[in-house]
Amino acid sequence: MLRKKLYVILSKGGATPEQIGAMLPQHLEYMIGLEKKGVLFASGPLTAAPGAPVGDGLTILRAANAAEARKIASKDPFVINKLRTFEVREWTLMEGSVGVTVNFSDQSIDFA
């Protein structure tokens, strides 16, 4: 078993699609920076059935503890500009196999 501690950021939307769209470039830039530092494990929007975006998101971080994960999440431009709120949950990755590489900076995708 892996027993790898990660931190899940559950973000809750409340902004209009126009507000999210205006801030999206800054949000993606922040996420790409976290990815390049090796902090970002995975991230993306959550949708309601049948796939309609609702403004909520899920991010999984590699952090030393919940306080560090909270600090990282609080610097997201969506949070700074009060377009999303969030909660932090510790997640223990026990089993499974992940072999996905997504590099937003050069638009490459590798599913290993």
- For the chain, domains (ranges, CATH) are 4-111 (3.30.70.1060)
**The pLDDT value given to residue 93:** 86
Quickly tell me which residue has 């050069």 as its tokens: 106
Q: Which helix (H) or strand (E) holds 83?
A: none
Output the pLDDT for position 3. Answer: 79
What does the alpha-carbon distance between residue 67 and residue 48 come to, in Å, rounded to a whole number? Answer: 29
Half-sphere exposure of 52 (CA within 13 A, CB side): 5
Answer yes or no: is pLDDT of 58 > 90: yes
d(CA 81, CA 111): 34
- For residue 28, the model assigns a pLDDT of 93
Residues 70-91: pLDDT tens digits?
Answer: 999 999 999 999 999 999 999 9
Phi, psi of 15 (to 5 degrees): -95, 165
User: CA–CA separation, 76 vs 25, rounded Å?
Assistant: 11
pLDDT of residue 112: 47
